[in-house]
Each structure stands twice: as C-alpha cells, then as structure tokens.
Amino acid sequence: MSRIRAFTMPKWGIEMTEGTIAEWMVKEGETFKRGQTLCLIETAKITNEVEAEYEATVRRIIVGGGAGEEPVGALLAVFDEGSHSDAEIDAFVADFKPAEGGIAKGAEKTRAPEPAPAAAAAPAPEKQRIKIDTNRPISPEALRLAEEEGVDIAGIEGSGRGGRITHQDVVKALRGTSAPSLKGTVPVEADDLKVLASPLARRIAALHGLSLQGLTGTGPRGRISKADVLALVPAPKASVGGIGTPEFVAGENRPEVVSFDRVRKVVAQRLTQAKQELPHFYLRMSASADALIAMRKTANVVLGSKASVNDWIVKASAMALAKHPDVNVQVHGQEIHRFPHADVSIAVASPKGLVTPVVRQANLMRIDQIAVETRRLIDKAQAGKLSMDDMDGGTFSVSNLGMFGIENFDAIINPPQGAILAVGAALRQPVETDDGDVAFETRISFTLSVDHRAIDGAAGAQFLQTLKGLIEAPEGLFGA
C-alpha cells in the first residue's frame, strides 16, 4: 500500500537531544532503494550515515544540509512510497506532529505564535539568512554564520581537514584585514635645514622634536654631530638595558575569541560534572618495559601485525581487569555493575575533540586482533565517522600521552566507568641492580584514577600489581 512517510531526526543514545544534517546524499525527486545512504547526521560526538529501510521517493526536503541543529523528532524530509500529489504532500507537512514523547520543537513551527505579555520586551528580530549553495567542504556552523552575515565564501581558504572551511575561518573573514597607516618621512623644520649638521644629527633631532637653532657644533667648522644632539635627548626614566637600548612599548594584545563548538560543550560539561561529583583518588606505579618492547618486536614479525606499545598496554589492562572484576565496573546511581569481560575505552584526539571508542572484550582478543581493532577505531575517529555503537558502553579507559613526552598525569574518570589508567612516556632511567651496581632500563609510569564510591584502595592497588607483572613478564599476555 502506497503511503507518505515522515523522516525525522533520530535519537541515538539517552543523552542525545538534537542533531545536524551534515549532508544529504539524495535529492528531491530522486528515488532511493533499501540500504542506500540517505544523509549524514552529526551529533555532539559522532557523524552517522543513515540508511534507507525501504524504497521510496524524496518528495520534500524540509531541513537542508548544514542548516543547523534540529531537535530529536523534528521533521527533516517527506518520502513517498506511491505517487501522491503536491497538495497531499503539503497537507502532510502542515499536519505533521512529532510522535508522542518526542521533543521536537520544529513540529510546532506551523502553529500561530501566542501573543506576548504586554510588559514583555519584544524579541530581537531574527537575522535574515542568505542561502549559499556550494560544493566546497564547509562545517554546518560555518555555513550558518556565512549565510547570516552575508559572507562570500569564495575567497575564504579553509583551514580544516581537506580544505574544509571552519567557523573560525568565517569569523576571520568577517574581521577583514587592517591596512597599515604609514606616516611617511619625519618632517624637518625649514630653519634647521640651514644649519650645518650631519644627516644623522638632523634625523635624531627631528625624531625627538629638538631644534638645531642656537646649538653649537663640535664637528669640523662647527658642524653639529650626532653626539651634540644626543646630549640634548633626555635619558630614559628607568632603563635596564645597555647604552642605546631602545625603549620597548607594548602594543595591543587582542585575543582571538573562539566559541565552544557542540563537542567541546559536551566534553566540558561531562568532565566538570565528573570532577565535581566523583570522589577521585590516585594510585601511581611504574614498570620496566624492556621485556615488553622486545616481545612487541618479535610478535609483530611472527604475527605479521603492527601492534603498538599502547595496544600491549590495553591487552595487559584487559587481562588484569578480568582478574580483578572489582575494578572492571560501572557506577549507576546506588548500583555497581561488575562485568566479566573488559570493554576498554581508548582516548583518541579527533577533529571533533576527545572521543573514547571501545575495544570490546579485549581480554579475550589476541594482540594482533587488538591492533587491527584500535587502528579501525582511530581511523574512524579521525575521519569523524564514529557511530554510537563504537562509543557506547566501556568498563574502563586507557589514556596515553606518552607519545607527547608527558612523563605522568592524572586523568579524569569517564562516567559511568569506575576507573581510568593514565599512561606516561617510556623513559630510560637508572636503577640499582641486584649486585648493587647501577644500570639503565626503560620504565613507563602509570596513574590509576579511581572512583572511591565503588573501588577501594586495596582493589586498585592489586589491579596495578597484576598489571605491572604482565608488563614486566609479557609472556603472560599470551595466556588465557
């Protein structure tokens, strides 16, 4: 049976309240098939491809690509499984209401606005937006600002990935470039030109507003020299430099104001909440990594993999978590959820900010399997294509800043998880040998941030002890 279908903003995850159409992959009047990609939708953390669940024709696109945020349940497009008339499509759009329990405000756009109270101030008029049709890569926020301010994006050089125009690029274009104001040559009094003086003496006198009239020169035939003029120049009030050091005058130090994007807002909110509400405590430990580094080289050759040191740390953490389920937990209100397997979240810096995709049941995976999975997740994160399935869940997090030379740091717990492991750089350090001599070995520092509501100090310490044993004797990582 033919019918008209509404395509609305989907809801992915409990915390999602709005999303943005990044790009439509179909056009009005185009017929699509089941499984075909309809559009890309951006949320605070991910960009998801939406696939068609049935075959139909795109009759009306209500919200264009890059048009801004729309609440969950808002009408985005109208699909037709038959051959309905334009009047029927118009009537469907006019009568559309979000499903019960939906939070869409966009569905109420057709209602007559309620009169404002007499004492209330009139709202500021909404800016007129000029529609910009372009094939250039541009972020939704940048396109919206350009349309509101009437910016010609043809002359903007994108600074984002692949030449993508960012919000900051449009802000810079709005500011424009300031032309320098050149003052030209220093004017010299006409009477001073008649006085016998060296060119440098004239220039110094003009710069300091001194007159050469009546000045007795000490040069040949009474010529006024540089020293004669400098004798009249007042000394600086508090010079700390050497003789002739020019005075430094500080110019304007104007900041570049960059507003939080959606991702940064969510990250800031979650981290602030976690730091304020979770009673963090920290356990620190270092481990010798020479055996693990040697094992990594051999295993990569034998298994034909490219596992990084961080992959081995993820594997060791997962196996230690399986042995200490008291640390492998999530905290939900007054309940502690203990898990038999370790779903390890790895912190990844992406164009959308810090994201934490999950390596699931890492304690059961071989090291080469972990290497493949982490590479897949990192590539998706850097391309901004992580899905909710990639991000949802996680029983423990590993955050590694060692590649930046950071020796150690304290990470903030990623709720509802109960702990996060901060990994520092691998450094050559002197240690005492069994015979009392001194030798160098490679050591890695670890800091475990723990939610004290759910995990006791002894449980965290035992976990670190097991982790250290696996790092220093990595052959145990190939066990069950």
DSSP secondary structure string for all residues of 253-322: ---------HHHHHHHHHHHHHHHHS-EEEEEEEEE-HHHHHHHHHHHHHHT----HHHHHHHHHHHHHH
Rounded to whole angstroms, the Cα distance separating 459 from 464 reads 9
For this structure, is 410 an active site residue?
A: no
Q: Which residues contact 288 (CB under 8 A, 6 or more apart)?
A: 431, 441, 442, 443, 471, 472
- Are 344 and 326 in contact by the 8 Å Cβ rule? The answer is no
What residue type is 431 in one-letter code? V
Residue pair 54/34 in contact by the 8 Å Cβ criterion:
yes
Where would I find the beta strands (DSSP E) of 46-175?
A: 47-51, 56-61, 69-71, 75-80
**Is the distance from CB of 378 to CB of 348 less than 8 angstroms?**
yes
Phi-psi region of 453 (alpha: psi -120 to 50; beta: other; left: phi over 0): alpha
CA–CA dist 287, 465 (Å, integer): 10
Nearest residue to 381 via CA among 401, 404, 351: 351
Exposure of 312 in the CB half-sphere (CA atoms within 13 A): 28
Give the Cα separation of 404 and 409 in Å (integer): 12
Token couple for 382: 């850097």
Does 456 participate in catalysis according to the annotation?
Answer: yes
Reading the block at residue 277, the tokens are: 């509400």
Structure tokens at 190: 């006409």
Tokens of 297: 């080289």
As annotated, the active-site residues are 452, 456
